[in-house]
Structure formats: structure tokens, C-alpha cells
Amino acid sequence: MFQRIVCFKYKPATTAEDIAAHFRKFRELTGIIPEIVAYRGGMCFPNADGTPPEYDSAHCLTFKTKEDIAAYFYHPQHQELGKYVQTISEKILVLNAEI
């Protein structure tokens, strides 16, 4: 199994409605892109020592193969999501890992 973890730092002007739409669009992909085995996402919070998180939200998608991640990446609906997140994010971190 493979995990794709995507973290977002939102632009200061990003609204709660924008963030809700962001999460909704990610969830909707699970019903559209068959290669997605599982999805979880949430807002980040400070470390135990109070250090603030570097990113605002994290999204974890699970796939069976590396090829499934590639199919997801190039899927038109994912490309549309990518265009949207560019409008609300000031930085994005993507990690792929075998789990």
C-alpha cells in the first residue's frame, strides 16, 4: 500500500468557507477516482510544546500501487482540485510513502 500526504498552508485571506470547500472537494474525489482506497483529512494543531504547525491542513490518501498514485495525479478531477488549491494556498507539501 502507498500513502500520499498533502499538507497546505493557506493564504491569510482564505475563509472558513474556502477551507470547507477544500475538504469537500478532497472527499468527493473518493467517489470519482477509483484508485483511491481511503482518504482522511484534518486541520493541523500545535505540538505538545506549543510550537505552531508549519501547515494548516493535512490530507492522507491511500493507494494500492504507485501507478494508482500516478492515475490519481493526472485525473482531470484532481487537476481541477489542484487549480483550486493554488488560489487558497501559499505553500504545499507532498509526500509519497510505501506503508
- pLDDT tens track for 14-68: 999 999 999 999 999 999 999 999 999 999 999 999 999 999 999 999 999 999 9
What pLDDT sits at residue 79? 95
Rg (C-alpha) for the chain, rounded Å, is 14
User: What number is the average pLDDT over the span 74-81?
Assistant: 95
- Residue 86's pLDDT band (boundaries 50, 70, 90)? very high
- Residue 94's pLDDT band (boundaries 50, 70, 90)? very high
Torsion sign across C-alpha atoms 77, 72, 31, 99: negative
User: What number is the average pLDDT over the span 3-8?
Assistant: 98
Please provide the distance, in angstroms rounded to a whole number, between the alpha carbons at the two ends of the chain: 5
